[in-house]
Structure 1
Amino acid sequence: MKDLFTPYELKDLKLKNRVVMPPMCQYSVSSKDGIATDWHYNHYVSRAVGGTGLIIVEMTDVEPDGRITDYDLGIWSDEHIPALARIVDACHAHGAKMGIQIGHAGRKAEDAEVPVSSSSVPFNAQSKTPRELTTAEVKDMVNKFRLGVKRAVQAGFDVIELHGAHGYLIHQFHSPLTNLRTDEYGQDLTLFGREVIAAAKSEMPEGMPLIMRISAQEYVEGGYGIKESVEFSKAYKEAGADIFHISAGGEGDIAAAGRPGTHAAYQVPLARAIKEQLDVPVIAVGRLDDAVLANAVIGNEEADLVAVGRGMLRNPYWTLEAGAELGKNPGLPQQYEAGFPRIRG
């Protein structure tokens, strides 16, 4: 039976366990240049020492005004490559595989003077009204994603994740709430996402998997649900997405009638539905900090990988402690053996 510490392989990606650190913005770029700092280095490398199988670097943006804030990471220039490569090399040295989430905040770019989006629909009453991208600009945006992926490959990442969730730009295109266009990108709401996937794959080695992160359910009035997300995910799978990272929400103010659950594993049914209906590997995420629960998600074959977010913000050694609790050896560093007597040797 599979468990949290069963190795996982897909194409050329070989993980020592099924624990994923999901992308979580650190808002820690020091000079607004988008270049990773020592904070990012220490943040990610400590989780590699802590036994994490796959670490996905936070949303890293394809243009300066594509960032949520001016203090987020960027990948719009070759100048960003060395600092990212330094992090990748150090994490590899401790046995972790490395992913990076490539994205664009769209209308949720808080520090952009005029954010851009699929349509001129503001996020909420307090947000700036975005400018609708022209058709030519959308095509140029696809190329910016391509160049971002090219740089990520040059930096040595093992897997690429595209951010199509949480109300950011790809999500803005495939959501009927935010895509009111009349051109080809409005007639086919998955076209932008599919073109970004194709562009990404054109720069990736054949054996490198592509992850698509989606919000499988919107929590606003008139928002889409699992039926619709299954359909647009099918289009993304056909375009070349190899793994789906299943989250939810983020597209607007949460309506009281559709408020998501706050209980443990509340998004796992969404991951299971995508996995079963598309026959595709999935990453489950959302309040899975309990090791026994995370292990059950794998053992019950509800997901192939489990992402632990806030739990890893609290404890970079979450994976080592999960191994101790479950009676598994997650590749404990020799230097820490005295602290984990139940999994020594």
Structure 2
Amino acid sequence: MSRLFSPHALGPLTLRNRIVVAPMCQYSAIDGAPQPWHHQHIGRLALSGAGLVIIEATGVTPEGRITPDDVGLWNDEQAQAFADILRGVRTYCDTPIGIQLGHAGRKASTAAPWKGGGPLAAEDGAWTTYGPSALPFREDWHTPLEMTEADMNHVVAAFEAAARRADQAGFDLVELHAAHGYLLSEFLSPLSNRRTDAYGGSAENRARFPLRVAKALREAWPRTKAVGARFNGSDWVEGGVALEEAVAFGQALHGLGYDYLHLSSGGNVPRAPIPGDQPGYQVRFAEAVKQAAPQASVMAVGMIFDPHQAEAIVASGQADLIAVARAVLDDPNWAHHAAVALGQDEGLPPQYERAGKAHWPGYGR
């Protein structure tokens, strides 16, 4: 039996295999509400053969969006639009579907990648951004306002409200976005957090607000459903987040009752020397957290597109779960094909079984 294709429990949720579709922004919403694009996108991912699908970064407030085209969960209309999608998916598929909740912080108020990707101009609808300190992501980007205690209270309440809406919409899981240089990641990193109060300085202080959000989210989300967090193992530049700090943050999340820990990296400074051309370049971060918190479920991600490499990572105990992203956009049947490569049943929906590899004349000879 392939280890990658064995079941795994995330708290109250049991996955049929260890493959997870990672959140991937689509920049295709209108006023935060998912559109027909999302219907087909989420539907095809749900049929991908993965054990879990996590929907893209979703803003908990309008100012917490990365771009004007991001999905959100700050109002009931958005929640209803997601509920409609999930209701449709459930007529043909039982794959668990989660949603990632986040706030973009100082990296908000930008254009979608294919619209330039830079900071919005006033005439394009730019809005005020917020961060732990008044430090822009780049010199030519918006300078964020340093968050006050009242600002932090607002964000905490927004995460709680978004979690409740996600539950009402029918999601099986929520993931807290604390990676890639967005708001919670900005607090965790000494590169973006230069505060001198209780929320800056030491690693413990820098983690104070992210853990406050994490605790509030955990309490707002039903214990009958799974919750996890994605966070950075490294900023890839000197003076950034240290791996031991990431490990401690993961242990703290596990102590709060988080069902899984999803290790990523980068995004806090522009042009960091990230070795993204190396398959599995972030696995060591997941492995370090797994060693420090062996009872936690840990997810590895980052250029893992070879099924045999994914199998080896899980079989060796470096991580419990493998998240794939671009590989699934390139091949929506990646998990089905991985099953064949590892000697497992392809697991296609019955409507597609006649196109399965086992039915191709001469396949594998």
Same fold (TM over 0.5): yes
Q: Which residue of 2 aligns with 1:130?
A: 144
Q: Which residue of 2 aligns with 1:221?
A: 238
Between the aligned partners of 1:82 and 1:261, the Cα distance in structure 2 is 37
Q: Which residue of 2 aligns with 1:180?
A: 194
Q: Is the contact between residue 163 and residue 174 of structure 2 (CA under 8 Å) also seen in structure 1?
A: yes
CA 343–203 in structure 1, closer or farther in 2 if over 3 Å, else same: farther
Deviation at 1:198, TM superposition (A): 1.6
Between the aligned partners of 2:95 and 2:359, the Cα distance in structure 1 is 19
Deviation at 1:219, TM superposition (A): 1.3
Q: Which residue of 2 aligns with 1:13?
A: 13
Deviation at 1:17, TM superposition (A): 1.2
Deviation at 1:284, TM superposition (A): 0.7
1:96 aligned to 2:95?
yes
Spell out the pairing of 1:125-164 with structure 2 (5 A cutoff).
125-164=139-178
Determine what percentage of the aligned residue pairs are the same residue.
41
Q: Which residue of 1 aligns with 2:264?
A: 247
Aligned length: 340
CA 90–294 in structure 1, closer or farther in 2 if over 3 Å, else same: farther
1:335 aligned to 2:351?
yes
User: Paired residue for 1:270, among 266, 281, 285?
Assistant: 285
The amino acid of 1:214's aligned partner reads F
Q: Which residue of 1 aligns with 2:74?
A: 76
Q: Which residue of 2 aligns with 1:204?
A: 221
Root-mean-square deviation (Å): 1.7
Deviation at 1:2, TM superposition (A): 5.4
Deviation at 1:264, TM superposition (A): 0.8
Between the aligned partners of 1:335 and 1:324, the Cα distance in structure 2 is 18
The amino acid of 2:183's aligned partner reads L
What residue ranges of structure 2 are gaps of 5+ in the alignment?
A: 111-119, 121-125, 361-365
Between the aligned partners of 2:359 and 2:206, the Cα distance in structure 1 is 50
The amino acid of 1:299's aligned partner reads A
1:313 aligned to 2:313?
no
Runs of 4+ in 1 over 4 A off after TM superposition: none
CA 4–61 in structure 1, closer or farther in 2 if over 3 Å, else same: same
Between the aligned partners of 1:102 and 1:125, the Cα distance in structure 2 is 27
User: Paired residue for 1:65, among 63, 66, 75?
Assistant: 63
Classify the secondary structure of the residue corresponding to 2:255: helix
Between the aligned partners of 2:16 and 2:192, the Cα distance in structure 1 is 40
Between the aligned partners of 1:117 and 1:191, the Cα distance in structure 2 is 14
Give the TM-score normalised by structure 2. 0.89
What residue ranges of structure 1 are gaps of 5+ in the alignment?
A: none
Deviation at 1:268, TM superposition (A): 0.8
The amino acid of 1:182's aligned partner reads T
Give the TM-score normalised by structure 1. 0.94
Deviation at 1:261, TM superposition (A): 4.8
Q: Which residue of 2 aligns with 1:4?
A: 4
Classify the secondary structure of the residue corresponding to 1:80: helix
1:120 aligned to 2:134?
yes
CA 323–290 in structure 1, closer or farther in 2 if over 3 Å, else same: same
Classify the secondary structure of the residue corresponding to 1:186: coil
The amino acid of 1:206's aligned partner reads R
